[in-house]
Amino acid sequence: MSQYVETKKKKDFLTIGELSTEEINELLSEAVHLKKEQKQGNAKPYLKGKVLGMIFEKSSTRTRVAFEVGMLQLGGEALFLSSKDIQLGRGETIHDTAKVLSRYVDALMIRTFAHETVEEFAKYATVPIINGLTDLHHPTQVIADLLTIYEYKGKLSGLKVCYIGDGNNNMCHSLLEGAMKVGIHISVSSPKGYEPNQAIVEQVKQEAQAKGLQVEFGHDPEDMIKDADVVITDVWTSMGQEEETQKRLQAFSAYQVNESLCKLAKEDYLFLHCLPAHRGEEVTAEIIDGPHSAVFDEAENRLHAHKAILKKLLEK
């Protein structure tokens, strides 16, 4: 059962794969609506009196600011909870923390390492749980990405997205799931040993076959990027992998998104990156700061995507 669908208990937002196409489209429509209201100065306090607790085990810029500002713009409040400052960091169980915080706040957003952590919070909390990022999934970012692609391309279904870089990455996993939900063809190019999670790959392949979508995996980025409408990459070394930096720089050296590679994409391709970016590593400055890049519109859309998620989960 989709964890987005309301049950007698609550709703959660843990992965893109647990949402239906209809639910994703509803979130995108809501994000468009909320963005228009905000731009026109007509923001409404839909969540007046609501409080979002935000637990961070990983550092953050966009996730924290977008959720905090989003709650304020919706008329509610947000509470930052560092795992170092709450008892969770001193050995209190997730079971106890989830049950206690459920008595104080109306929802919890968690940005952490192990995906099992947010699943355990969802199991024991009596308020909605939002996955702000885990090592396995990054669903809130992908809602923002889909919103950005729609704004630039005017559609989602039938487009081709190419992801280049670390395939065993939360962005890649959530992009794969999101593409299948909205009818996007997707290709992934990554070095050997850095392919996407096999369970997610098998699930996505089954969904692609059922829907007549193309999903390709390959080690040659030139093959994968051909005729792409959207090109996406991410850092080569994610949080928690710092000790592997030099090894990864060597492994990914042929996977840089640059002008030469992007000439194989469609002439009007769109470039996205969830940020932070390392210019000169996974992408050149000419691409990320060039005319095809929409990374700052994408970053802004985190705000509107988060607001849509919050409103859907918390509004009566």
DSSP-derived secondary structure for 258-304 = -HHHHTTS-TT-EEEE-S---BTTTB-HHHHTSTTB-HHHHHHHHHH
Q: Which of 3, 274, 304, 306 is catalytic?
A: 274
Segment (H or E) for 53: strand 51-56
Tell me the binding residues for L-ornithine: 170, 234, 238-239
Same domain, 167 and 224: yes
Query: In terms of domains, do 218 and 233 share one?
Result: yes
Which residues sit in the known binding site? 60-63, 87, 111, 138-141, 170, 234, 238-239, 274-275, 302
Q: Whole-angstrom Cα distance, residue 136 to residue 118?
A: 11
Given the residues 234, 256, 292, 306, the one annotated as active site: 234
Which residues make up each annotated binding site for carbamoyl phosphate?
A: 60-63, 87, 111, 138-141, 274-275, 302
- The predicted pLDDT at position 141 comes to 98
Catalytic pick among 3, 73, 141, 256: 141
Question: Cβ distance 277 to 288 under 8 Å?
Answer: yes
Q: What are 4's two structure tokens? A: 């987005």
pLDDT in tens, the chain (316 residues): 455 444 446 899 999 999 999 999 999 999 999 999 999 999 999 999 999 999 999 989 999 999 999 999 999 999 999 888 888 867 899 999 999 999 999 999 999 999 999 999 999 999 999 999 999 999 999 999 999 999 999 999 999 999 999 999 999 999 999 999 999 999 999 999 999 999 999 999 999 999 999 999 999 999 999 999 999 999 999 888 899 999 999 999 999 999 999 999 999 999 999 999 999 999 999 999 999 999 999 999 999 999 999 999 999 7
- Cα separation, 241 vs 152, whole angstroms: 33
Check whether residue 154 and residue 96 sit in a common domain: no
Lookup: tokens for 64? 């924290």
What backbone phi and psi angles, to 5 degrees, belong to 290? -95, -175
Q: Does residue 13 lie within any of the structural domains?
A: no
Residues 289 and 304 in one domain: no
What amino acid occupies position 300? Answer: E
pLDDT in the model for residue 9: 67
Residue 138 bears catalytic tag: yes
Residue 191: asked if its preceding bond is cis (omega within 30°), the reply is no
Would residue 115 count as lying in a domain?
yes
Kindly name the residue from 248, 292, 302, 306 that is annotated as catalytic. 302
- Give the span between the Cα atoms of 81 and 85, in whole angstroms: 7
Catalytic residue among 3, 12, 106, 111: 111
Q: Report the candidate in 4, 6, 7, 13 with the shortest Cα–Cα distance to residue 118.
A: 13
In a domain, 9, yes or no: no
SS3 label, residue 227: coil
- Give domain status of residue 76, yes or no: yes
| Residue 292, in any domain of the structure | yes
The pTM of the full predicted model, rounded to 2 decimals, is 0.95
Q: Is residue 14 part of a domain?
A: no
Q: Which domain holds residue 134?
A: 21-138+300-314
* 167 plus 181 within the same structural domain: yes
Residues 62 and 36 in one domain: yes
- Does 127 lie in the same domain as 87? yes
User: Is 302 part of the annotated catalytic residue set?
Assistant: yes
225 and 256 part of one domain? yes
Dist CA 223 CA 91 (whole Å)? 48
**Count of domains for the chain:** 2
Mark whether 147 and 284 lie in a shared domain: yes
Q: Is 141 a catalytic residue?
A: yes
d(CA 285, CA 154): 27
CA 16 to chain centre: 9
Residue 248 annotated among the catalytic residues of the structure = no
Hey, is 154 helix, strand or coil?
coil
Give the angle subtended at the CA of 274 by the CAs of 240 and 125, to the nearest 5°: 65
Give the pair of three-digit tokens for residue 19: 């949402």
Q: Which residue has the tokens 């809501």?
A: 30
CATH number, domain with residue 26? 3.40.50.1370
pLDDT value at residue 6: 43
* 103 a catalytic residue: no
pLDDT for 89 equals: 65
User: What six digits make up the tokens of 312?
Assistant: 């859907």
Q: What pLDDT does residue 7 have?
A: 42
Single-letter amino acid, residue 133: L
- As a whole number of angstroms, the distance between CA 171 and CA 34 comes to 24
259 and 155 part of one domain: yes
Residue 1 falls inside a structural domain: no
For residue 7, is it within any domain?
no
**One domain for residues 96 and 243:** no
- Are 129 and 185 part of one and the same domain? no
Cα distances from 261 to residues 120, 202, 254, in angstroms, run 42, 28, 10
From 12, 115, 137, 138, the catalytic residue = 138
